[in-house]
Amino acid sequence: MTTTMDIIRTMYPDRITLSVEELALLIHMTPPYIRKEVRAGRFLIPWRRIGSRIMFPVSAVVSTLDDGTSPPKPRRRGRPTNAEVIARERQASRQEK
């Protein structure tokens, strides 16, 4: 079975970090979208700035992609719906028991 690390090592041999463009090819996103999410602090894969370039450690890319968890869904703005209120009340009553 081919692992994520095998795929990255095949595409980018002897690399420790990946640039935005290389990561975009790997995860099928556009470079401008990745840059925008990094600037906003919402990008899931840890990154480092080396000079003016944004670089992603290969180990962080592999662990994030293999982890399979998605970021928590942000709460929507405004007043909660009745369904959200009821769900919170049920959850609170379960925790009290």
Residue 12's φ and ψ, nearest 5 degrees, are: -135, 80
97 pLDDT more than 70: no
pLDDT in tens, 14-65: 999 999 999 999 999 999 999 999 999 888 899 999 999 999 999 999 998 8
How far, in Å, CA of 57 to CA of 60, rounded? 5
pLDDT in tens, 66-82: 887 666 677 778 998 99
What is the value of pTM for the model shown?
0.69
